[in-house]
Amino acid sequence: MRFQGRKIGATLLGALMFGAGLAHANIPIDGQFGMQPAASERAQTITDFHTYLLVIITVITLFVTALLVWVIFRYNSRSNATPARFSHNTVLEVAWTTLPVMILIAIAVFSFPLLYASDVEPTSEKVASGESRELTADDWVTIKTYGHQWYWRYIYDTDSEEPVEFESRLIPEDDLANNPGSVRQLSVYQPMVVPQGKYVRLNIAAYDVIHSWAMPAFRVKVDAVPGRLNQLWFKAEQEGIYFGQCSELCGLDHAYMPIELRIVPQDVYDQWLTLLREDETEAFEYLEQAQPRTSLQQLASVQ
């Protein structure tokens, strides 16, 4: 236990050191308890909702356990040899019907708006002054996302006549050493790149079987289904490197098609996209310079 504590301490220290350097990294950590830090406002709302539910669940569980214990000891055949024979109690029956309904309403009041906000793209956002600003097409980046056995394919600039696309594949164990800072089972050669400050819309489908694009730090997860277009959105709030994994059992190498997401400044994104049109390799070399994997090293080394 002490060892675990120290390990978590070291991890936190690593996270802090890293935080002081290059913005943000969200990555599963050994001995982690709870969710990854929220990477967006909506992710934070989801975390808060989770905490709220946890309180309700805990109270219900304790209450039911107490009732059970009471019945087991008070009404067993030894301490209650001649049981009562009545079968109705109006007050109790009304209570055990209305109380659960009220609990469900108390949950729905928060859960439905959150569900709606997660599903439907926002049309405006709050600005610093507290007023709201209409979002335009310029605020959005759209990426077509395809699940393949067993890698992801991303298509950029989907509105233009010449969209660009590339494959995003796992860096295998024997090549980790050649890619300093890469994380086993999570880093990929060519990650998804989005500009910081923009809203990201993913149009998700699959080429062969059902996959699922999941990014825990943003609390998003949407199935990639062949022949069906799914969509998700999130706001790229903080620069950094984020990791997720395919979350729908999709065959032999299901565990070997992770998702790496890079949030970079707008100018880096623009330059990367320009290079991508010319030469894929050059584009990702440039990305590696602008946002090196090694900035993750403190985190990775304590795992």
Q: Which residues bind Cu ion (CB under 5 A)?
A: 211, 246, 250, 257
Torsion of CA 21, 27, 31, 35, to 10 degrees: 110
Q: How far is the CB of 44 from Cu ion (least distance, A)?
A: 28
- The smaller minimum CB distance to Cu ion, of residues 108 and 255, is found at 255
- The smaller minimum CB distance to Cu ion, of residues 14 and 147, is found at 147
Under a CB-based contact definition with an 8 Å cutoff, are residues 285 and 249 in contact?
A: no
Q: How far is the CB of 151 from Cu ion (least distance, A)?
A: 9
Q: How far is the CB of 209 from Cu ion (least distance, A)?
A: 7
- The smaller minimum CB distance to Cu ion, of residues 28 and 265, is found at 28
Task: Please enumerate in sequence order all residues whose Cβ is within 8 A of that of 286, keeping only pairs 6 or more positions apart, or say none.
Answer: 271, 272, 275
DSSP assigned state of 210? -
- The smaller minimum CB distance to Cu ion, of residues 29 and 188, is found at 188
Q: How far is the CB of 230 from Cu ion (least distance, A)?
A: 14
Radius of gyration of the chain (CA): 25
DSSP assigned state of 178? G
Q: How far is the CB of 219 from Cu ion (least distance, A)?
A: 19
3-state SS assignment for residue 232: strand
Q: How far is the CB of 104 from Cu ion (least distance, A)?
A: 34
The DSSP-derived string for 143-160 is EEEEEETTEEEEEE-TTS
Under a CB-based contact definition with an 8 Å cutoff, are residues 173 and 252 in contact?
A: no
- The smaller minimum CB distance to Cu ion, of residues 193 and 250, is found at 250
DSSP assigned state of 170? B
- The smaller minimum CB distance to Cu ion, of residues 29 and 246, is found at 246
